[in-house]
Structure 1
């Protein structure tokens, strides 16, 4: 009965539909093993002075769409891997690349594969790796992937190693796996990050890992006399709004090379017997490293997406006609075109204050001249009348304004009477 009720409720209230993804930014990178070298022989103003990442993979995917994928079985870091074309004129050869839209869409080499498209970028690196006297890896695999669908943007970084043998068998790690996943649906970010280490062997003594949060105390005591410091992995996830970041910093083994040489009895042989036989300039080569750090497992995934803006449906209602208005003032600016932003100092349409009309609708008086005050009109008429009267009096004075002593008529004679 309860099961039937749950089914009915699910049918009546279906899950809300997810919104479509608009813009997005994705990245993922994974490194099973990294070897970091600290030495004074290389005049490099950086720490560490040398680095190499085994079976390194990286992907990037963004709106546009733009995709990029990289896989390298022996990656020397971005400074060398991407800087060689600028310094020496040729690209670093141990890598497979793919890009969209510029291409190539895919590239595959021994132990390396990269693909990139509009909706997915993926890279893989995996093969048996060995750096003499330092590290040997069996069952190595590294995958980075970034993909987007209509409702989700996801990045995934995974590394796994079956067996890692360090320093010619001094330390052996088994069953190592790291994974980081970051997801964004445009409304919020989510993801996970986790790691696992099955067993660690030191000088033939096995230490099973029973608690994933911390190493066994006996393991730390076994590594201390060898000059090896162990830092346990750490996984973190961070969510901010629509973005998600998942990281797993791998298990780190920091080796004090001088202490290790003394523990293995190599210091007296190299410094007491071999060093006197070499020129003074070559003596530092017997102690090339101060410290070596080996990081097992390192993954990072980042995802951020936004919801696509909904399209505004067309308005089927007819546009109302604006009521007719009177003639515009002579000083009024022309009406702006549709879509033109309002200029400074000009009121936008619809809020223009009313202006006085030029012509009145009713009849006006005789003295109401457009644009001329009535008092000015009356003053002008008075001045004109006074001037006319003065000119008439002055003409009468010149042509006969005074009487004749003999009694003859004055004024201008009538020339029409002969």
Structure 2
């Protein structure tokens, strides 16, 4: 009896709501574990920064069509250089792997880089050890970007991580860095999450464990100040607008004042006082190649927007018509054909007769002109008679006002008598 009651309740309970099928969609994701922005006076570029490079960079795009594209680069110089070289120099930037749909290739792999693209999913991944002498050494760098669509949702995911990041020949070391951004749209609403974590900082050999994810450790900012380094803590947020969602994590930003750092390290006197006089004037600026360097650790962004598929509507049904009254019987007693029935051989179908109003005309007087009042008719006749009489009198005055000396009759001659 108990099992029968449970089965009855399961049968009577409403089915769980299901998301609507996805119609149009737009997806994008990008991730970069480390980005370095260079500010220098050596490159005559009117924009700031004058140079940029993104380590282990990945990016994906997927839209209705479907049209997909994915990119992976272990050393990405930005879109201006990475995609602009074919137009400027006639060849593509070599340190990248690309995939696209439907044009292809669907899959491309290079050392530390891979990109794939299909009708329902685009994905890219990159990771390799990076080293720039005296500036940066990164170990365990990895990033992945993915955009995919299924029957019930469209999703974008961007993940970046760094096991160890050493700046300025080990003066500042970061470890255990991970950022992730996810954006989802099911055609009716958008949702997403964005998180980050940093395990530990080391400044001049002193360790600063990160205990709270939303604020830097105590004493860290003061330890960085003598080196001319300012720190901006990461932020993450998700923006929802109807069916669209955008999740973004702005990475941890380290701004290095290179000119202040070299003076604090005692390098200013050696470069400016010893080496500068030995070099030609044109080469002196090379001793100070950088004015400022900005290092961004763990930048990710994911965006998703989708619309529900329009339901299939049946063809328009004809409007219902009122039933027609049966026609009266024919004079010979035979039943007339029903409307819409096929003609019968040997019989001429009756002609269609236009109904005419049968109201009897009312008796009218002689002065009752259709649409003209009788008083207006009488007034018109009177004016016409007065005008005729006046014209006759005026003619008599002009032509017959005095007798003829010869005895001939005066007035207007009768032209009808020849």
TM-score category by the smaller chain?
0.7 to 0.9
Aligned counterparts of 2:293 and 2:34: Cα–Cα separation in 1: 13
The aligned residue for residue 143 of structure 1 is 144
- Measured against aligned partners, the alpha-carbon deviations of 1:281-303 in whole angstroms (never above 9, x if no partner) come to 11011011111000001000000
CA RMSD of aligned residues (A): 2.7
Aligned counterparts of 1:149 and 1:104: Cα–Cα separation in 2: 22
The aligned residue for residue 388 of structure 1 is none
Aligned counterparts of 1:10 and 1:295: Cα–Cα separation in 2: 56
The aligned residue for residue 308 of structure 1 is 309
- Measured against aligned partners, the alpha-carbon deviations of 1:362-413 in whole angstroms (never above 9, x if no partner) come to 5999xxxxxxx999xxxxxxxxxxxxxxxxxxxxxxxxxxxxxxxxxxxxxx
- Compute the displacement of 1:188 (Å): 0.6
Q: 1:360 aligns with which of 356, 360, 374?
A: 356
- Compute the displacement of 1:318 (Å): 6.5
- Using a 3 Å threshold, how does the CA distance of structure 1 residues 200 and 8 change in structure 2: closer, same or farther? farther
The aligned residue for residue 96 of structure 2 is 95
The aligned residue for residue 26 of structure 2 is 25
Q: Please give the residue correspondences for 1:368-387 in structure 2 after superposition, counting only pairs within 5 Å.
A: none
Moved over 4 A (4+): 7-11, 317-324, 361-365
TM-score normalised over the length of structure 1: 0.75
Aligned with 1:24: secondary structure?
strand
The aligned residue for residue 402 of structure 1 is none
Aligned with 1:304: secondary structure?
strand
- Compute the displacement of 1:90 (Å): 1.1
TM-score normalised over the length of structure 2: 0.75
- Using a 3 Å threshold, how does the CA distance of structure 1 residues 11 and 219 change in structure 2: closer, same or farther? farther
The aligned residue for residue 34 of structure 1 is 35
- Measured against aligned partners, the alpha-carbon deviations of 1:267-294 in whole angstroms (never above 9, x if no partner) come to 1111111110000111011011111000
Alignment of 1:222 with 2:244, yes or no, is no
- Report the number of matched residues: 334
- Compute the displacement of 1:178 (Å): 0.2
The aligned residue for residue 54 of structure 1 is 55
Q: Please give the residue correspondences for 1:15-414 in structure 2 after superposition, counting only pairs within 5 Å.
A: 15-314=16-315, 320=320, 360=356, 362=358
Aligned with 2:219: secondary structure?
helix
Aligned with 2:43: secondary structure?
coil
Q: Which runs of 5+ in 1 are unaligned?
A: 325-356, 366-372, 376-418
Q: Which is worse superposed, 131-140 or 189-198? A: 131-140
- Using a 3 Å threshold, how does the CA distance of structure 1 residues 313 and 374 change in structure 2: closer, same or farther? closer
Aligned counterparts of 1:196 and 1:170: Cα–Cα separation in 2: 21
Aligned counterparts of 1:264 and 1:8: Cα–Cα separation in 2: 77
